[in-house]
C-alpha cells in the first residue's frame, strides 16, 4: 500500500478475480475504493453490494456437498475454513480429481486435489451472472488516470535505476577502473532493496514482492524478523536508515562523477561504519528470533561486498582533513532522504488509519436514524406541485427525493445514473425540476419546455427514457435531440412558458447555488456528509 491506494482485503481480492476473469470494464482501483468505503468491507455483503452495483446478478446458497458444484461450469465464490479462519475463494473449475481455485493464502490461482478442498469447503456458495452487467462510467478515462498515477508512483524507482545506469555508463566511457562500476552497482542494488522494504513496511510487509522474495518455513520467515522490535532504533526503522544511506551515497557519487575519487573514498569509509550492523542483524536472526530473512541477508551481503571492493581497490586511503571536507555532502543528502522517507511513511500510515476507520464511519453515516435525525436539522421547503416536475414512482411513497438539475450540467448527468438505480424502489418517489434563470439562453429554456411538453402528452413513465437519452449524451445538442420528437410542435413547446416562469421564481426562492441540489422529504440534503452516490446505500430496499 502507498499513500494513494486502498488496502486490499480477502473480499476485494475475490471480487476483483471475478471481474478480471470475465474481462469486465471495471477498474481495480474503483473496486478497492468501494470496498474500503463499504460499512462491512470484508464480508459477503460487500461483495454482493458492489457486484450488484454494476448489475451483476448474485445468488447465495448453502450447498453442503462440494460434488454438487461440478455441474456449474462458471466461476463461483465459496467460503472456506483454513487454520480456524474463514476466507472467501473462487472456484474456477472442478473435475473428479482436482479443482482450479484462487488460494486466499498464497493469493494465486492454483490446482488443488478435490479431497483437499473438500476438507476446507464450508458449504456456502455464491453464483455470479455477468451477462447483463453495466460497465463502469468513464471506464477508459479512469483507466488512463490510474495508469498515470501508477507511473508517477514508480518515478522514485525509475530515478534510482536511471542514476545507476547513468553512472555506470559514465564510468565505462571515461575509462575509469572497473571497481568503481562494481561499487556503484552494489550501492544501487542496496537502494532498490531498501526502497522495496520501506514501501512494504507501511502494509506490514504484506506485499506481492515480499511474498515472492521471502519463503516461509521452519528457518525462513522475513515477516517475523522485519516486524521485530530489533528492526528499529529509537523509533526509526532500519530499512529507512538503509534507504537514506544507500540512496544518499548514490546521489552524491552521481553528482561528483568518477573523477573525484576523494568522495568515493569517503563513501568507502561510511561503509566501514555500517559493518557493525552485520553482526547486530546476524545476532538477532540466529540467537533471538531463530529465523532467517532473505532480504536482510541481501542487505548484509551488499554491505560486506562494498567493504571487500573498498579493500581490494584501495579506496580506504584518505587523510583526516580531506575526510571532513567530503563528509558534509553525504550527511546533508542522507538526512534529506531520511526526512523524505519518514514523511512518505507518515502519510501512508495516516491514509491507512483513515481507510480502517472509514467503514465504521459509514456504518454510522448510513444508519437511518442518524440520517433522518440529521436531515431534520436542515431547511424545510414547501412541496413542489406535481405538474411542475417530472415524477417517477408513487407520490404516496414514504420517501420523496427532489432533484434540481441543469439540463447541460455534467454532474447532473452523472447523478442521473444513480437516480435510475432507484426507479424500482417502491419506497421512493422521485421529483425532477430544472434550474433556469431569466438570463439563460433560449436553448436551455427550450429543452426544459420540450421535457414538459413530452410529459404532458405521454406521461411521466415515458419521461424515464427521455431523460436517460438526454443525460446519456456526451455532447448535448438540442436541435438534434428535438428531431427525435417531431410530433411535438412549436405550439406545444411554447405552451410550457408558464413552467419556465415558475421555475425561475422557485430557484430564486430556494437560492440554488449549484446543481444538482437534492431535497429529501422537503429537507435540504446534508451535503456536507452525503451525496447522490450514497442514495443506493441510504434508500436500499434492504434497509
Find, among 386, 499, 405, 481, the residue nearest to 445 by Cα: 499
Question: Which of 91-95, 208-212, 365-369, 489-493 shows the lowest per-residue confidence on average (mean pLDDT)?
Answer: 208-212
On the CB side of 36, how many CA atoms lie within 13 Å of its CA?
Answer: 19
> Model confidence over 316-371: pLDDT tens digits?
876 666 666 788 888 999 999 889 888 888 887 787 777 778 888 888 988 889 99
Buried b / exposed e along 470-488 (16+ C-beta atoms within 10 A): bbeeeebebeebeeebeeb
Say if residue 518's pLDDT is above 80.
yes
- Domain range 10-129, CATH architecture: Alpha-Beta Complex (3.90)
Residue 255: per-residue pLDDT: 83
Q: What is the largest CA-CA distance in the chain?
A: 98
Task: Give the fold, CATH level 3, of 379-538.
Answer: Glutaredoxin (3.40.30)
| Phi, psi for residue 95 in degrees, rounded to 5 | -120, -175
For the entire predicted model, the pTM comes to 0.65
> Model confidence over 57-113: pLDDT tens digits?
999 999 998 888 888 888 999 999 998 899 999 999 998 889 999 999 888 889 999
The x, y and z cell numbers of residue 178, run together, are: 572497473
Taking the domains of the chain in order of start, what are their residue ranges?
Answer: 10-129, 154-349, 379-538
Question: Which of 188-192, 207-211, 246-250, 276-280 shows the lowest per-residue confidence on average (mean pLDDT)?
Answer: 207-211
Q: Identify which of 129-138, 347-356, 378-387 has the greatest average pLDDT.
A: 378-387
User: What stretches of 112-177 show up as alpha helix (H) in DSSP?
Assistant: 114-120, 139-153, 155-174
Residue 218: per-residue pLDDT: 61
Whole-angstrom distance, CA of residue 26 vs CA of residue 460: 33
Residue 3: per-residue pLDDT: 38
- Domain range 154-349, CATH architecture: Up-down Bundle (1.20)
Residue 304: per-residue pLDDT: 93
For residues 501-509, give the mean pLDDT: 93
For residues 115-140, give the mean pLDDT: 89
Confidence of residue 504 (pLDDT cuts 50, 70, 90): very high
Amino acid at each position: 500500500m502507498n499513500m494513494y491506494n486502498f488496502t486490499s482485503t480477502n473480499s476485494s481480492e475475490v471480487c476483483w478475480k471475478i471481474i478480471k476473469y470475465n474481462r469486465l470494464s471495471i477498474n481495480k482501483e474503483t473496486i478497492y475504493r468501494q470496498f474500503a468505503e463499504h460499512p462491512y468491507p470484508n464480508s459477503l455483503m460487500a461483495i454482493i453490494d458492489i457486484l450488484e452495483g454494476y448489475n451483476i446478478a448474485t445468488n447465495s446458497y448453502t450447498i453442503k456437498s462440494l460434488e454438487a458444484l461440478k455441474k456449474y461450469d462458471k466461476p463461483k465464490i465459496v467460503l472456506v475454513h483454513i487454520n480456524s479462519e474463514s476466507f472467501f475463494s473462487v472456484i474456477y473449475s472442478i473435475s473428479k480429481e482436482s479443482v482450479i481455485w484462487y488460494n486466499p493464502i498464497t493469493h494465486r490461482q492454483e490446482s488443488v486435489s478435490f479431497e483437499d478442498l473438500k476438507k476446507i469447503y464450508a458449504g456456502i456458495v455464491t453464483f455470479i451472472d455477468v451477462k447483463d452487467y453495466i460497465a463502469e462510467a468513464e471506464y477508459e478515462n479512469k483507466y488512463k488516470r490510474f495508469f498515470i498515477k501508477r507511473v508517477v508512483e514508480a518515478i522514485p524507482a525509475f530515478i534510482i535505476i536511471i542514476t545507476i545506469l547513468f553512472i555506470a555508463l559514465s564510468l565505462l566511457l571515461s575509462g575509469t577502473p572497473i571497481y568503481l562500476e562494481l561499487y556503484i552497482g552494489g550501492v544501487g542494488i542496496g537502494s532498490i532493496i531498501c526502497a522495496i522494504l520501506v514501501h512494504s513496511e507501511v502494509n506490514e510487509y504484506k506485499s506481492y514482492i515480499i511474498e515472492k522474495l521471502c519463503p516461509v518455513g521452519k528457518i525462513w520467515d522475513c515477516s517475523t524478523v522485519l516486524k521485530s522490535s530489533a528492526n528499529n532504533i529509537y523509533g526509526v526503522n532500519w530499512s529507512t536508515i538503509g534507504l537514506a544511506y544507500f540512496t544518499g551515497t548514490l546521489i552524491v557519487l552521481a553528482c561528483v562523477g568518477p573523477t573525484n575519487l576523494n568522495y568515493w573514498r569517503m563513501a568507502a569509509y561510511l561503509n566501514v561504519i555500517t559493518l557493525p550492523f552485520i553482526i547486530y542483524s546476524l545476532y538477532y536472526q540466529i540467537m533471538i528470533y531463530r529465523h532467517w530473512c532473505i532480504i536482510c541477508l541481501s542487505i548484509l551481503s551488499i554491505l560486506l561486498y562494498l567493504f571487500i571492493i573498498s579493500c581490494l581497490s584501495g579506496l580506504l586511503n584518505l587523510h583526516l582533513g580531506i575526510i571532513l571536507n567530503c563528509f558534509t555532502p553525504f550527511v546533508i543528502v542522507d538526512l534529506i532522504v531520511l526526512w523524505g522517507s519518514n514523511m512518505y511513511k507518515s502519510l501512508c500510515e495516516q491514509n491507512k488509519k483513515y481507510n480502517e476507520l472509514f467503514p465504521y464511519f459509514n456504518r454510522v453515516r448510513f444508519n437511518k436514524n442518524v440520517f433522518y435525525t440529521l436531515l431534520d436539522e436542515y431547511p424545510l421547503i414547501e412541496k413542489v406541485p406535481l405538474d411542475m416536475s417530472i415524477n417517477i414512482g408513487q407520490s404516496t411513497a414514504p420517501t420523496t427525493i427532489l432533484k434540481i438539475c441543469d439540463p447541460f450540467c455534467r454532474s447532473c448527468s452523472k447523478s442521473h445514473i444513480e437516480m435510475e438505480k432507484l426507479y424500482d424502489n417502491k419506497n421512493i418517489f422521485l421529483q425532477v425540476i430544472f434550474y433556469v434563470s431569466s438570463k439563460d439562453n433560449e436553448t436551455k429554456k427550450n429543452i426544459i419546455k420540450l421535457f414538459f411538453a413530452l410529459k404532458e402528452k405521454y406521461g411521466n413513465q415515458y419521461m424515464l427514457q427521455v431523460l436517460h437519452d438526454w443525460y446519456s449524451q456526451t455532447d448535448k445538442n438540442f436541435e438534434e435531440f428535438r428531431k427525435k420528437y417531431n410530433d411535438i410542435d412549436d405550439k406545444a413547446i411554447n405552451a410550457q412558458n408558464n413552467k419556465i416562469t415558475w421555475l425561475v421564481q422557485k430557484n430564486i426562492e430556494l437560492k440554488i447555488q449549484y446543481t444538482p441540489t437534492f431535497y429529501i422529504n422537503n429537507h435540504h440534503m446534508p451535503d456536507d456528509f452525503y451525496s447522490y452516490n450514497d442514495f443506493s446505500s441510504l434508500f436500499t430496499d434492504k434497509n
